[in-house]
Amino acid sequence: MEARGRFLLAVAVSLAGWWCSLALGWAPEQDQSLRVPAGWSHVGRVAPLDELVLTFALRQQNVEHLVKLVGRVSDPDSPQYGKYLSLEELRTLVQPSRLTHNTVHKWLGAYGIKGCKTIITLDFLECVMPASTAERLLPGAQFHRYVSGQRSAVRSPVPYTLHEELAEHIDFVGGLHRFPAERKVVTRASGKEEVMARYQQRRAAFHLGVTPSVIRKRYNLTDRDIGALPNNSQACAQFLEQYFHPADLLEFMKLFASSFGHRSRVDQVVGHQGLGKAGLEASLDVEYIMSTGANISTWVFSNAGRHESQEPFLAWLLLLSNMSSVPWVHSVSYGDDEDSLSWAYMERLNVEFMKAAARGLTVLFASGDAGAGCRKLAGGSHTFRPSFPASSPYVTTVGGTAFKNPFRVTWEVTDYISGGGFSNVFPMPDYQAAAVRNFLRSAPKLPPRSYYNSSGRAYPDLAALSDNYWVVTNRIPLPWVSGTSASTPVVGGIMALINDRRLQKGLPPLGFLNPALYKLQEKGPTAAFYDVTQGCHLSCLDAAVEGQGFCAGPSWDPVSGWGTPNFPQLLKALLNP
């Protein structure tokens, strides 16, 4: 306790010094949460010569033009629909100005920092330097080491500043504050003995959890619905020392994929692939994107955050902007509370998602497993807690559902953990305005308006089953695995199959899906999705909402989006959107 007291006193003194330094500098992320997440313990100040890796987000050019371009290439009614940019063309559009490059390199050089790595789009720099240099470079910063289990991270518990002349050249500096977000899949093993007894009584009518065959039956994929083209591909991302094992994937396909053509090997791993214990999340992602998007070339982006000062999610985004050829579909199960992140960071990452959309990439994010979320405000009242990147208007966000009868392939209701709601950062995009207004106008019951921002980007956009999956991990088949980390790769595989058919017909890949998705549904009743109209998700346990967030209803809603895919009809609609 005495050591912790000394540390908190040091932080308080540092904060006082930081306020003084504000008079001389500029704080790009003064709204960034400095809270140390639960499970991380402070070890001490790093040594002056300890090496850090910091990432500098350089100010891009022509962002307003990029916004308009993404709108045109993603809108099925536009003559430019599907006319995507190459990475090199994208670089020409957004690369920072010569003045920005010269100013930033001159500033770094004055501190002896040379040999920084850049990427193809030239809008990030990754620099290695001693901790003592980093603290002089970024007045106010102090670097401390934290540990959580076997992992360690170096972060600054106090804000950093930059010289005023850099305000128009740098958006933020990565590697100082944000701890790696950890999203765990949910297991629901309660009542297992009762379920097994019921199953033994009516074996012919029941299944014992979601497998690839159950997914295919529910969403009407036949054994012939598999990939056929060598130039089509899909990907998932794994973080925080979460690794899949090739042996698990092989075993999973033997057990659950014998009735349809498939691949049993990942074609490319980008990054470090560990040899230790397999991660349940990573196993789930790979097994279900490859069994749904069957026989399609699959990549895994492995972003372990092996250097203590790296941000694994930021590293993944840099990889995307540093590879001319990447898969068309990306499934990502990663997220943070919006209120824990700085505005500068989220705004810049939103531009990174626009860059992906301009290249024709379909980027899918899990909506999260906390329902509407809950945040306690300073006065003791509560509000819902949106998640990012799920709340970005330039990604497609996937919620979760469950079977009405958990052990029959029947119609679906909402999964109570399915993340959804309204952004407090990003305004509602035009493509969804009519659908969301319809929900807000027609919902029989809504939470108090003080709990959510009804003019914000609303999510999710669509959903899939997220409850009671079978996964093979560390050579053991495990049941009862749940979460939107399961529904997202399923949707990813379905979109990769649709891309396969589009490419066969000489059409461009789907790219950023949302404008086409919302236009498709707003044209009138369609069989492309199974509308989920029953169930609510969880939220704050208080007297005003009593643990209930939003509820599903006809058409779009902030629990299940437009519903879950009916593959043949969705394929037909998206071949000619």
CB neighbour list of residue 375: distance below 8 Å, 6 or more residues apart: 337, 339, 382, 383, 384, 385
Q: What is the sign of the dihedral through the CA atoms of 341, 343, 346 and 352?
A: negative
Q: Identify residue 329 by its one-letter amino acid code.
A: V
Alpha carbon of 121 to those of 13, 89, 311, 409: distances in Å?
A: 40, 9, 19, 47
What does the block give as tokens for 328?
């068309």
Cβ count near 399 (within 10 Å): 36
Q: Is 355 helix (H, G, I), strand (E, B) or coil?
A: helix
Report how far residue 423's alpha carbon sits from residue 189's, in angstroms, rounded to the nearest whole number.
Answer: 33
Which secondary-structure segment (H or E) carries 477?
strand 476-482
Alpha carbon of 104 to those of 30, 60, 162: distances in Å?
A: 21, 13, 11
CB neighbour list of residue 431: distance below 8 Å, 6 or more residues apart: 514, 515, 518, 519
Strands 476-482 and 529-530: unpaired
Length of the chain: 577
Report how far residue 478's alpha carbon sits from residue 351's, in angstroms, rounded to the nearest whole number.
Answer: 39
Catalytic residue numbers read: 281, 285, 485
Quick check: 253 and 291 in contact, CB under 8 A?
yes
Quick check: 30 and 172 in contact, CB under 8 A?
no
